[in-house]
């Protein structure tokens, strides 16, 4: 668009490259049709919590579009490295069950394989982290984008939390 005053002098040229919005934390620019996956952010447990297994505890997050998946990972997992090999099991792998609530009650010990109706087992007491996975810009669940060597639409607990044995 050219701006021309009454006297005929060209003041400048404005070019619109793309239309989009900045997220509230001003760290992510969302371009329509490109960044359709809204970034997920794990709220709790984010480190330092001590949970008793056998009692429901709240896993909370913000962001995400549609469903999310929740995995229990080793306490060495980090956001800047592929956590795939550190997944111990899935707390919730059916994203439609937790699509909009941003809160999931977990009993602190049961995890399963990444299949519907897959086998489940109880974890031992120890220190862990949570990996939360939202849909990427293509609408897929992606833990790690290997071509770019960056994480997908994921977030991992900042520090480990502890799961204690159930009270006998």
Name the CATH topology of 37-164. Answer: Immunoglobulin-like (2.60.40)
pLDDT digits over 47-95, tens only? 999 999 989 999 998 887 777 889 999 999 998 888 999 999 998 766 6
The model carries a pTM of 0.72
Instruction: Give the pair of three-digit tokens for residue 153.
Output: 């639409």
- At 24 the pLDDT is 40
Give the whole-angstrom CA distance, residue 26 versus residue 94: 30
Average pLDDT over residues 98-108: 75
- Rounded to 5, what percent of the chain is helix, strand, coil? 5, 40, 55
**pLDDT at residue 9 greater than cutoff 80:** no
pLDDT digits over 105-144, tens only? 888 888 887 656 678 888 899 999 999 998 877 778 888 7
Give the whole-angstrom CA distance, residue 85 versus residue 81: 10
Give the whole-angstrom CA distance, residue 80 versus residue 86: 13
Could you tell me how many residues make up the chain?
Answer: 168
In the block, tokens 């990427």 appear at 136
Beta pairing partners, 127: 162
Please give the span between the terminal C-alpha atoms of the chain, in angstroms, as a whole number.
73
């Amino acid at each position: 668009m050219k701006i021309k005053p009454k006297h005929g002098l060209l003041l400048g040229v404005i070019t619109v490259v793309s239309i989009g919005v900045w997220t509230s934390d001003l760290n992510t620019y969302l371009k329509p049709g490109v960044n359709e996956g809204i970034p997920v952010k794990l709220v709790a447990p984010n480190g330092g919590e001590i949970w008793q297994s056998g009692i429901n505890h709240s896993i909370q997050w913000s962001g995400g579009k549609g469903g999310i998946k929740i995995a229990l990972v080793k306490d060495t997992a980090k956001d800047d490295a592929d956590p795939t090999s550190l997944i111990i099991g899935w707390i919730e792998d059916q994203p439609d069950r937790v699509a909009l609530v941003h809160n999931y009650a977990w009993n602190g010990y049961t995890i399963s394989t990444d299949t519907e109706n897959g086998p489940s087992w109880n974890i031992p007491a120890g220190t862990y982290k949570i990996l939360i996975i939202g849909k990427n810009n293509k609408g897929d669940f992606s833990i790690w984008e290997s071509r770019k060597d960056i994480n997908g639409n994921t977030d991992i607990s900042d520090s480990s939390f502890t799961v204690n044995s159930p009270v006998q």
